[in-house]
Amino acid sequence: MNPNEQTIEWTVLKHGQWELYVAKTNKGLCYIGSPGSSFDEFKVYFSKRYPDFTLAENPEALTPYVQELVNYFSGTKQAFSLPIDVKGTPFQEEIWRALQTIPYGETVSYSEIAALINRPSAARAVGSAIGANPLLILVPCHRVIGKNGAITGYRGGMDLKRFLLDLELQKT
């Protein structure tokens, strides 16, 4: 075994109509897939971000993360407490940190996120960084909407985005 190789443990979360790949490194949750995405798509994600990796299916290792997500989907949890491990460019990571400041049940626009990071003219770049978010739900990119209030694109699909927004708005 290569000493630089990283093991990424994964499982499939099934809840209601949603089936999502969920994965973690030894540092924390690193990926939540889009509903209906393939295992090949899942593997491609890791091949782009981790030079040496092994995928190991391990539902037990993901149990605490899956339970937090199930509790969120059920409306009994509003904040996540387990560690995360996201990898992106410095700009993407800055955007993902900003997303984590959006309170449960609230929405902001892409331009508001750009202003929050002191780059008011970077709304399009913000949108691209949001689209690359590997941790749907935990890094709450579903809370970002168009400036005019329109529900806009989402890596997890528009059905999931509407579900998440409706869930949060019911509980606030």
Residue among 20, 23, 141, 145 flagged as catalytic: 141
Question: Whole-angstrom Cα distance, residue 86 to residue 129?
Answer: 13
CA–CA separation, 71 vs 63, rounded Å?
A: 12
User: Is position 141 annotated as part of the catalytic site?
Assistant: yes
> H or E element: which one contains 68?
helix 59-73
Q: Which two tokens stand for residue 156?
A: 């997890």
HSE of 6, CA atoms in CB hemisphere, 13 A:
16
| Residues recognised as catalytic | 141
